[in-house]
Amino acid sequence: MSTIERGRTLVGTTPRTNVARTAETNTVATPAVQPTAQRTNAVVDGFDNKAANTASVAKVFTAPAGSKDKVYDGKLVGANGQTFEPGTPLSDIPAVTPRNNPNATATVIYTNGIRTDKDKQGGELQALADRTGMRAIGIHNATEGTISDILQCVKDKMDKGTNPAVDTLADTIYGELKAGRDVHLVGYSQGGLITSRALSDVARRLRIEDGMSPAQVQQTMSKLNVETFGAAAGTYPDGPNYVHYVNNRDAVPTLFGLGSKGWTPGDLLRHAGKGAQVHYFSEDTVFSGAHSLTDTYLNHRVPFEQARAGQF
């Protein structure tokens, strides 16, 4: 059976969750969870899989007291900062809900940028839920400090080495696609780079493991809606429905991502994804505000279908 080797990470027919990391964390298995539709006050949405939920166990991750943020790397993040092991069914994760719409059904999966610990990502999940009107679940991209985070970005740009957030996101996307479900992704800053890398992994996996043609891969991945904000990625695989937001005064996407409005020679190396909508805007802000998700980018977001129609 075919496998793909990316750095030291093998992508096979089983999820790439790093089993060796299990011994380094405290994992608490809770009692068996009932199918979502049978749980009191449960929210039922497109992630529900009746067959999978029947015998599912919510794999809650409990970190040792005083743990650094790295211990949450690649974990799934739900409401109230709860973290779950990769592979936990999305329907078993209590999502962050919009404050003005606690009964929202659509769900977005969000990957954060650098210098963001789990608690800060929790605030971003709430802001994203409030702005989009969707439930939000996070995939945590842990921080180890500015220098370490930037070095990881360099490796992500080169598609080298392992990144637990990439692995978790790729496995989540692949599993949802194989189950025939639509997926809505949001990536911010390095989270956009992680999203690009994970999508490329999924495309290779569909092509090699499932024997799909390039056209079939694109058709399968057309079930993905993807939004990026100030992303550090300059290329994205064809297939998903993309909307990219770029502040012309933000150095992260203009230097390392899709560039600024207007053609430059660097555009020859960039690819936003076939049919992508790229919304360029210019906002003067103080200090790091030009790159802020909550203070800048989300203020320019419009409903996804409206953005896909180019109506910003």
Two tokens, residue 204: 């290779």
* pLDDT band at 66; cut points 50, 70, 90: confident
CATH of 4-9+61-308, one of 1.10.540, 3.40.50, 2.40.128, 1.20.120: 3.40.50
What confidence tens digit (pLDDT) does each residue in 99-154 have? 999 999 999 999 999 999 999 999 999 999 999 999 999 999 999 999 999 999 99
Beta bridge partners of 242: 226
Confidence bin at 262 (pLDDT 50/70/90): confident
Q: Regarding predicted confidence, which is higher, 16 or 77?
A: 77
State how beta strands 9-11 and 277-281 pair: unpaired
Domain boundaries, the chain: 4-9+61-308
Q: Measured between alpha carbons, how far is 123 from 89 in angstroms, rounded to an integer?
A: 23
Residue 155 φ then ψ, to 5°: -65, -40
Q: What is the pLDDT of residue 59?
A: 81
Q: How far apart are CA 12 and CA 275, in angstroms?
A: 30
Classify 215 as helix, strand or coil.
helix
For strand 183-188 and strand 224-229, is the pairing parallel, antiparallel, or unpaired?
parallel
Overall average pLDDT of the 75-84 stretch: 97
Do 166 and 207 meet the contact criterion of CB atoms below 8 Å apart? no
Q: Which helix (H) or strand (E) holds 224?
A: strand 224-229
Question: pLDDT grade, residue 296 (50/70/90)?
Answer: very high
> Residue 263 — pLDDT band, cuts 50, 70, 90?
confident
271 phi/psi in degrees, rounded to 5 = -155, 110
pLDDT for 286: 55
Please say whether the beta carbons of 24 and 67 come within 8 A.
Answer: no
pLDDT tier, 287 (very low <50, low <70, confident <90, very high otherwise):
low
Average pLDDT of the residues in 6-10? 38
| Confidence tier at 289 by pLDDT (50, 70, 90) | confident
Predicted pLDDT at 4: 42
> Beta strand 59-61 with 83-84: parallel, antiparallel or unpaired?
antiparallel
DSSP 8-state symbol, 90: G
Q: List pLDDT tens digits, range 163-204.
A: 999 999 999 999 999 999 999 999 999 999 999 999 999 999
CB atoms within 10 A of CB 123: 13
Nearest to 239 by CA among 259, 225, 229, 255: 225
- What span, in angstroms and rounded, lies between the C-alpha atoms of 311 and 40? 40
Instruction: Taking residues 65-70, report their average pLDDT.
Output: 89
**36 phi, psi to nearest 5 deg:** -55, -45
**SS3 label, residue 153:** helix
Distance CA 94, CA 92 (A): 6
List pLDDT tens digits, range 21-49: 333 333 333 333 333 333 333 333 444 44
* Structure tokens, 216: 């079939």
